Structure formats: C-alpha cells, structure tokens
Amino acid sequence: MDQAAPVTLHVQAAQRFSGGFTLAASLDAALHAGAMLVLFGPSGAGKTTMLRQIAGLDRPDEGVVRFGPDVWCDTARSIWRPPQSRRAAVVFQEPSLFPHLTVRDNIRYGVRAQSENAGDDVAAIEAMLGTADLGNRHPRALSGGEAQRVELARALATRPRLLLLDEPFASLDAPTRLRLRRDVRALLQATATPAVLVTHDRTEALAMGDLIAVMIDGRVRQLGAVADVFTRPADAAVAAALGVEAVLPGRVVGVGDGLVEVSIGDLVLHAAEREPVVRGADVYACIRAEDVTIETRSAGQASARNHLAGRIVGIAPEGPVDRVTVDCGFAIDALITRRSREELQLSPGARVTAAVKATAIHLVPRV
C-alpha cells in the first residue's frame, strides 16, 4: 500500500437553491491513501450536493474545490475543471449502469485504451468484487447487489484519484450490504484510493469511516476522526444528529457462549453476540443512556453482566429525567428519573457503579 503523504480535500462551497435551501459548507480533510471520509447527516443536510460539487457535476455559486495541489474549482479566479479531468468517479445510490452494454463493456467503459496494464488492473478489481462471472449479462439481468458491484468495478477500473460514493448501499438488503461494505473497504485499501461516502446511516459511518464530517442544514458542523467525533460531539445539534449513544472504541478479546468480550482501555465489557465477530477485531461498543442504570452499592446477584465502578462527573436535567455522566475510565451516560436520583442521593463526585446488560451493548465491527 502506498504510504505517501495524505492528500488534502478542500471544499468551500456556497450554493443557493430555488427551494430555499442554502449550502454554505467548508471542509478540509487530509485523506490518506485508502482512507474513507464519511459525509454524515440527516436527509436534506446537503451531503449529496457537497458530493456533486466535489465531482464537478454541480458548480457552486461561490466557492473553491481543491484536491491536493489541483484547483478543481475557484469561482473567484474563474477556474473550472469539468468532471472528466478530475478523475473522481461517482457511484450513485440507484445503479446507473449503461443498459445497452454488457457487464464487461460497462466495466471497461471508462478505461483508456492506451493506459498500460489496464487489463490486469481490471481483472484484479473484478476478482475482488466477484463480477468476473457476470461478463456477458446485461444490467437488467442483475440483482441490486450485483449491479452495485459492477458499478464499483466500473468506477475503480478507471483508477480514480478519489472515489465518491452517494449512499451506494442504501437500497441493498442487509446481508448484501454487509458483504459489500467489507469488499469495498478492502478494495480501497488495496488500490490506495481515498473515498468520500455520503450516508445517513450511523452504523455505516462507524463501520466504514476513518474521518467523519457531520453536516446539518447545509453546513459542516464538525470534522474529525470517527471515534473522536462520536465521543466528543462539538455541540448539541451534532450530538443529536449522531444519536444519543455512547460510542466506545474497543477490541474483541474473547468470543464464546453467545458473549463477546471487548476490551476498552483497561476494562472489559461483555456484549451479547448478535452477529459473528472474530477475536482481535476492532469494534465500536454502542450504549444508549436509557440502558445504563446507576447503583450506589453492590446489588449482589444481578442479571446485568457489566458493572463499571466510577465517579459521577456531571448531572444535567434533560426534560423529566436527569442525565448522569459517570467516568469509569471512559465517560458513560445514564438517564435516570429525578426520584431515583433523589433516593440514591447522587451528586457530582459520588462513587457509583454503572450497570449495563450485555444485550444492551450494540457492537459495530469496523470493516
């Protein structure tokens, strides 16, 4: 794999739409070879518009798009590079294969005839995506998952400098989606191609992203490493967009009896095994604050598998309930009723135990 210096993707785009939506986003992301930047946010946040600006399919009213040293767009200096010269291949949510061409001709569509080793590259990509056997079929004879594989192969066969993915897995069924995520990730790393992925699916963002840019109302509100952004959202709006769960990066250290042992820092959590994971895999353990209970002394025999000793570092009222933050090596939130808080006489600094059932821990394996 190419370990060259990261390429900086710089976008600063303002675009006003007739419907009232305004994009005013700026982004500066250092993309390592094979790295994935996730554009995350609710529907209508401007993620796809941003992607189209990067691709050169839309032109900002005002703005700059730079990829490394190359200026793709600079409205102030009247610079505009059309999509053809950016080499940023796009994969759309709905398959957009050429219906009159076979799978083989689709995949080779953008391959320049004169480029060397093009045939070998294409063969390697096809082997990894498993499209080689589909060669003579026409797009209408493919399943949704097969069509997206062909589309990915078509994009990667042109050896793009940047791959742009606009919710490419959204219309696939769950098992197909999981397999394809893994294959795409492996392929990007094998070809050292950086990618930008648009998604509103937080599991997908966690599973695939290295960097994440959270977009809300046409603006990038936070950009950073996935684990950092999920554990330290910049403000309440970002936290709400990301969801209310604690997201703890960890590693699987044991699997058995339907339980997965995940080491997080010095602690080991037990989580129910919902989907197969292997020892040594990197995972995120996601815990909703509603599923965390607070104990002031040992409850004796209880069904919750995880008892985490710690100290209360914050109590914030949140509507009818209180959000209690416990530092037990990492921060974990519990939502409890006001009456419980009063009965337990909880206050900042108090030593408590946070209890979480194994079934309440949702593991997201990194792919």
Partner 1 sequence: MDWSALWLSVRLASATSAALLVGGVPVAYWIVFSPRRWKYIVEAIVALPLVLPPTVLGFYVLVAIGPLSPVGRAYARVVGHGLPFTFEGLLVASVLYSLPFAVQPFSTEFAAVDRRLLEASWSLGVSRAATFRRVVLPLSVRGLVTGIVLSFAHTLGEFGVVLMVGGNLPGATRTVSISIYDAVQSLDYAAASRTSLLLLAVSFAILTSVYALQRSVWIKPRL
Binding site for partner 1 (CB under 8 A): 55-57, 82-90, 92, 94, 96, 98-100, 109-110, 112, 139-140, 151, 154-155, 158, 164
Cβ distance to partner 1 smaller for residue 155 or 308? 155
CA 84/CA 67 separation, integer angstroms = 15
- Which of 250, 348, 351, 332 is CA-nearest to residue 292? 332
DSSP-assigned letter for residue 41 = -
* DSSP H helical ranges for the chain: 47-55, 103-107, 118-129, 144-157, 174-191, 202-208, 226-231, 236-242, 338-344
Q: Which is nearer to partner 1, 57 or 192 (CB)?
A: 57
Least gap, CB of 88 to partner 1 (angstroms): 6
Please report how close the Cβ of residue 160 comes to partner 1 at its closest, in angstroms.
8
CB 58, min distance to partner 1, A: 10
* Residue 87 or 251 having the CB closest to partner 1: 87
Nearest to partner 1 of 93, 203 (CB atom) = 93
94/318 with CB nearer partner 1: 94
Min separation Cβ 109 and partner 1, Å:
6
State the minimum distance, in angstroms, from the CB of residue 97 to partner 1: 8
CA–CA separation, 107 vs 216, rounded Å?
35
Phi, psi angle pair for 75, to nearest 5°: -65, -30
Residue (53 or 306) nearer to partner 1, CB: 53
Token pair for 50: 């941003």
In degrees, to the nearest 5, what angle opens at C-alpha 190 toward C-alphas 185 and 196? 45
Element (H, E) at 86: none
Round to whole Å and give the CA distance between 202 and 241.
9
Q: Minimal distance in Å, beta carbon 84 to partner 1?
A: 5
Q: Which is nearer to partner 1, 18 or 84 (CB)?
A: 84
CB of 247 to partner 1, least distance (A): 33
Angle in degrees, 0-180, between the axes of helices 118-129 and 144-157, rounded to the nearest 10? 150
Kindly state the tokens that stand for 342.
């009063």
**Spatial contact of 187 and 129, defined as CB atoms under 8 Å apart:** yes
